[in-house]
Amino acid sequence: MTLAKDPTATSSARLKQISIVGAGAIGQLIYHQLSSAVNASSVSLNIISRAQHSKQQKLTFTDLNNVESTYIAELVGQDDYGQQLPKTDLLIVCVKAYQVVAALKILIPMLSSHCHILLLHNGMGPHLDVANMLKGQSLTLGTTSQGALKQSAWHTKQTGKGITQLGTFNTESIFNSQSTVNTKNAFHPQKAFSQQRASKQRVLPESLKNILLSAIPHSQWCVDILTMLWQKLAINVAINPLTAIHHCHNGQLADEQYRDIITAVVIELVNVAKAEHISLALPAILDKVYQVIALTAANYSSMHQDVQHQRTTEIDAINGFVVQMAKRHGIATPHNQQLVDHIKHLELQYQR
Ligand code: PAF
C-alpha cells in the first residue's frame, strides 16, 4: 500500500520512515503495533540502537491473548546514523524520561528539519528542554497507559490495555507562564514561536497522525495534550513512588492507610497545575487515580520495577517535576518532596 497523498504536507513523498528510539517494553510494544499497521504500506520502520554497527534483530511479542508474533527488525547502529536519520520522517522517542535529552542531543542534529518528533515517556519535563533543541522539527507529546513487560531483551509481553493520548506541543500555550523564568530547562518561547510561525511543517501531518492512531489501539488525538499529561502525572505521582517505597502491587494503594498521602500529593499537583494554567478538578483526578489503582491492581508500577531491578527511576520527571514547577511559582509541595527524597535515598543504596 502506498500512502495516500497528504493534503497538509508539502510533499507526501517524504513520508517514508518511522524510527523508534528506545527498545524498552513500550518501544517494542509500539514497534509491534506499528509493524502490523505499516506492513503493507511504503512506510519503513526501524529502531535506532546505541550499538556501533547496524544489524537485524529478531523481536518476539506476546499479546494479551498469549499469541506470539516475531519480527525481524532493522537496528540502526551509530555507523549508519548519518545515512538513516536524515531519512526519518517520524522519530518516536520511547527512552526513559531522564534519557530523552541526552539521546536527542545526538540525534536531532542528524534529523532533517521536516522530521517530526514524538516523545512517549512517563512523567513530564524533557519536552521543555527538547523544545529548545529543535532544528525545525515539530514536537508531539504522548502518554500511554498500555502495560508491557520485557520477558528478555528482545521479547516483550503486553500486560494491559490502556489509552494512548497524543497531541502537538503548542509552544504558544506556555508563552506567558514560562517567559520570565530562568531555570536549567527554561523554555525560550520566542525562538520556538518564531520557528513555529516560520514553518507550517511543525505539526504532525495527517498521514503520520493516521498511521499512529490506527496502529495504536485506544489512541486518541488531544488538542490539549498538556492537560492530559498533567492528568497522567497525577496518577504517576501517587502510584509510582508509593508502590516502590512500600514494595507493593498498585492495588494495595486502595488501602485506607495510603489515602492521606495520595490525597496530599494530588492536591499539591493540582495547585501547581493551576499556576501553570492547567485546570484540573481534584475530585475527578482522585477518582481517576483510584480507577487506575483498581484497573492495574495486579501490576507492579514501573518505578517499583526500576527500584527492584536497581535502575535509575523516573522520579525527577514525576514528583520531581511537580516540585520543580512549584518552585517557579513559590508553591509548597512538601509531600511530593518527601517522596522524591525517599526514592532518591533508595536509589543511593544501589547506585553508590
Ligand atoms: O508507570 C506506571 O507503572 C504506569 O504509568 C501506571 C499507570 C502507574 C500503572 O502501573
Query: 182 pLDDT exceeds 50?
Result: no
Type of residue at 179: S
3-state secondary structure of 121: coil
Q: List, in order of start, the domains of the chain with CATH numbers.
A: 12-223 (3.40.50.720), 228-351 (1.10.1040.10)
Q: Which of 94-103, 181-190, 236-245, 266-275 has the lowest mean pLDDT?
A: 181-190
Is 16 designated active site? Answer: no
CA-closest residue to ligand 1 atom 6: 301
Q: Are the C-beta atoms of residues 268 and 336 closer than 8 Å to each other?
A: yes
Each residue's pLDDT tens digit, 63-114: 999 999 999 999 999 999 999 999 999 999 999 999 999 999 999 999 999 9
Q: Decide: residue 125, CB within 10 A, 0-12 exposed, 13-18 middle, 19+ buried.
A: buried
Query: How many angstroms separate the CA atoms of 79 and 98, rounded?
Result: 25
pTM over 0.85: yes
| Assigned C-alpha cell, 36 | 502490523
CA-closest residue to ligand 1 atom 3: 301
Helices marked H in 216-258: 225-245
Q: How far is the CA of 77 from the centre of ligand 1 (A)?
A: 30
In the numeric block, the cell 499479546 is attached to 63
CA-closest residue to ligand 1 atom 1: 302
Identify the CA nearest to 347 among candidates 321, 317, 320, 309.
309
Identify the CA nearest to 121 among candidates 258, 302, 243, 328.
302
Q: Are the C-beta atoms of residues 32 and 107 closer than 8 Å to each other?
A: no
**What mean pLDDT is reported for the chain?**
88
Ligand 1 pocket check for 235: Cβ under 6 Å: yes
**Percent composition of the chain: helix, strand, coil (DSSP 3-state, to 5):** 50, 20, 30
Q: How far is CA 265 from CA 49, 84, 241, 300, in A?
A: 37, 44, 11, 20
Query: 14 pLDDT exceeds 60?
Result: no
The size of the chain, in residues, is 352
